[in-house]
Structure 1
Amino acid sequence: MLEIDGSQKSGSGTIVRVALSLAAVLGKEVRLVNIRARRPNPGLRRQHLAGARALAELCGGSLVGDSLGSRELLFRPADTVRGGSYRWDIGSAGSATMMAAGLLPPACFADAPCRFRIQGGLFQDFAPSAFHMQQVLLPTLARMGTHAELGIQRPGYVPTGGGVIELAVEPADGPLAPLVLPQRRASVKAVRGVALSSHLEERQVSRRMAETCAALLARRGLRPHIEVRNDSTAAQAGAALAVIAETEDGRLLGADRAGAPRRTSEAIGRTVAQARLA
């Protein structure tokens, strides 16, 4: 059995997600100790529990220590990752995309196609946005031989959550190929993006984010096409901006920023543009 000390390096929940995901792929037992020991609120939170239980369900495994605040967790995966349709609710604004990212590796080696419907947060700080996963990560992983698509059914923001994504994964045809990217810097051939806001159309938040970002990129000779979306289905007001650049050799480079209290539309637009230009 592998034992992993969750207090090492960043001491974050990423250690939990990655360890359990790879254990499910390999079919090996793993014990996690000192979970999130470096965090102000150590131990398992709702999003980590939801991810662990989802992986156990997906591969017919078992968990010991899966409770809120637990600092130790034992995961015994079964030998087969089972395809099918699954639905999970994180129960908070915890990142649905990070949970989906943990489910993706074993789903690539399932015995049948998988479809996951996950409810939680989609756009927030310190987590990959749903736009990034949909338009940067999954297309990049496709070059390795994965077959996955992400649909955004409803936006979700901090602190309410309530966003919904659907991840569809086809089993890989064989072993995944290494991802080899050229070391040389390639020129950008196209820039696109999405400016999304929920319940904020009167304040023109989507338009302001898009226009600020586009103006800064234009100064560097880039001509982005940023789609403006106004949503009324989310459980609360919120916003997010994502920009994706495609290079001449096919690489995808993303930058994004979620809205937050006292974070203006213009500040979001500037941050994303500056990140893309860096």
Structure 2
Amino acid sequence: MIEIDGSRKSGSGTIVRDAVSLSALALQDLSLTNIRAKRLPKPGLRAQHLRGIEAIADLCQGRLEGASIGARAIRFFPGRTIRGGRYAWDIGTAGSTTMLVLCVLPLALYADRPSCFHITGGLFQDFAPSVYSLQHVLLPLLKRMGAEIELRILRPGYVPQGQGRIVLDVKPLKRPLAPLNLTDPGKLLSIQGIALSSLLKERRVSDRMADECRKNLQAQGYSVSLELLYDTEESPVYEKPAAQAGAALAIWAKTDTGCLLGADCAGAPRRSSEYIGRKVARSLTEALQSGTALDVHVADQIIPFAALAEGWSSFSIPEVTDHIESRLWLVETFLGAKTELSNSTLRIRGIGYRKNPA
């Protein structure tokens, strides 16, 4: 049994999600203690973490012990086979659906059949990637590594009510993931984005976020093409209108060397549309001016996939966050991947993971 102290490194939910996911792939029993010890005043499992590890157990027919809201320690005994098929998970709160995607996606790539996941919860909130970030930055990079994944929004969902719905379709890999090599930032080709608001059309929230973002990027010499989306009771953009008013802005940049960098921000009470536009423009500008190939968030999200790939992956990153440190520690511990960090270049020697036999 691998023992993981969840208070180490970031002391966050990243350790919970990755430890259980990698445990399932490595077929190693797990004892996880001090869960989210640094996330005061509410340490332990929250609803989104609990639903994520329960989803992992569903996929691999594994067994969880001690897993409940607020739990500070759990044990996990993975099953021997990852079962694809149709699954539905409801976080029950506005907890992040994208974080649940990052829990199950590594397993679904090695399932015994294609998978279709219907996930209900929050789509846009602080401290989690937006669905647009996954759709337009992370998933295209994984496609380059050989993955076939489609992520769709059926209904937006915001804090505090959630009730957003997404669908994730994943085809099992036919061969190991290919390594990803992105160290040259290259020249900027385009900046695109989406300004979404629900039940706020009369306040022109999408327009205002987009206008402020454009103005701030233009001041730095950049231009951006932004799609405006409004979800209203009269003219819903999605299958069903959102349960509450809310907003989100996401933009992403493409370069001639294949780099993808993104930035996003969700709406919140007393957070103006103009503030969101400025914040997103500033974040992307900083990412572009860092001279690196990945933004800081995708740099940590890509680590488990690089560790599963066959051979060395290399990418330049703007900084080493505690989330990056956590993920490097976990892929070394569970998979035996080798990692090297020199200046701003992160290198990972993946293990060429292949599907477990039934």
Same fold (TM over 0.5): yes
Residue 257 (1) aligns with residue 269 (2): no
Match of 1:127 in 2: 128
Deviation at 1:242, TM superposition (A): 0.4
Question: Are 2:257 and 1:220 equivalent residues in the alignment?
Answer: no
Indicate whether 1:155 and 2:156 are aligned.
yes
In structure 2, what is the Cα distance between the partners aligned to 1:91 and 1:66?
16
Q: In 2, distance between residues paired with 1:21 and 1:100?
A: 11
Q: Which residue of structure 1 aligns with residue 138 of structure 2?
A: 137
Taking the TM superposition and a 5 Å limit, the aligned residue runs for 1:15-30 are 15-30=15-30
Question: Is the Cα–Cα contact under 8 Å of residues 3 and 31 in structure 2 kept in the other structure?
Answer: yes
Deviation, 1:25, is 1.5
Offset of residue 250 of structure 1: 1.5
Instruction: Indicate the residue corresponding to 1:45 in structure 2.
Output: 46
> Following TM superposition, by how much is the alpha carbon of 1:10 offset from its aligned partner in structure 2, in angstroms?
1.6
Could you tell me how far apart the structure 1 residues matched to 2:201 and 2:136 are?
24
Ranked by relative contact order (alpha carbons within 8 Å, sequence separation 6 or more), the top structure is: 2
Query: Could you tell me which residue of structure 2 aligns to residue 89 of structure 1?
Result: 90
Rounded to whole Å, the distance in 2 between the matches of 1:192 and 1:185 is 17
Q: CA deviation at 1:239?
A: 0.4
Structure-1 residue corresponding to 2:204: 204
Task: Give 2:187's aligned residue.
Answer: 187
Q: Deviations over 1:179-221 (max 9, x none)?
A: 1112x33111011100000110000000000111112222333
Q: Distance in 2 between matches of 1:68 and 1:223?
A: 45
> Alignment length, in residue pairs?
277
Partners of 2:30 and 2:231 in 1: how far apart?
A: 42
Per-residue deviation at 1:13?
1.0
The amino acid that maps onto 1:41 is K
Give the distance between the partners of 1:135 and 1:25, measured in 2 at CA: 26
Deviation at 1:59, TM superposition (A): 0.7
Counterparts of 1:222 and 1:13, CA distance in 2: 35
Moved more, 34-43 or 51-60: 34-43
2:275 to 262, 267, 277: 267
* Residues in 2 aligned to 1:246 and 1:227: alpha-carbon distance in whole angstroms: 16
In structure 1, stretches of 5+ residues that fail to align are none
Hey, what does 1:69 align to over in structure 2? Answer: 70
C-alpha separation in 2, matches of 1:234 and 1:26: 39
TM-score (norm 1): 0.97
SS of the equivalent of 2:182 reads coil
> Shift of residue 175 of structure 1?
1.2
Amino acid at match of 1:205: V
Distance 1:81 1:105 in 2: 11
Q: Could you say which residue in structure 2 is the equivalent of 1:176?
A: 177
Distance of 2:26 and 2:151 partners within structure 1: 25
TM-score between both structures, scaled by the size of structure 2: 0.76
Q: Given residue 30 of structure 2, which amino acid in structure 1 is its aligned partner?
A: V
| Secondary structure of residue in 1 paired with 2:153 | strand
Q: Which residue of 2 aligns with 1:166?
A: 167
The percentage of aligned residue pairs carrying the same residue is 56
Q: CA deviation at 1:149?
A: 1.1
Preserved contact between residue 185 and residue 257 of structure 2 (Cα < 8 Å): no
- Residue of structure 2 in register with 1:36 after alignment: 36
Deviation digits for residues 23-53 of structure 1 (CA, Å, limit 9, x no counterpart): 1122221111111112211111111110111
Residue in structure 2 matched with residue 10 of structure 1 by the alignment: 10
What code does the residue aligned with 1:149 have? E
Aligned positions of 1:222-241 closer than 5 A? 222-232=222-232, 233-241=241-249
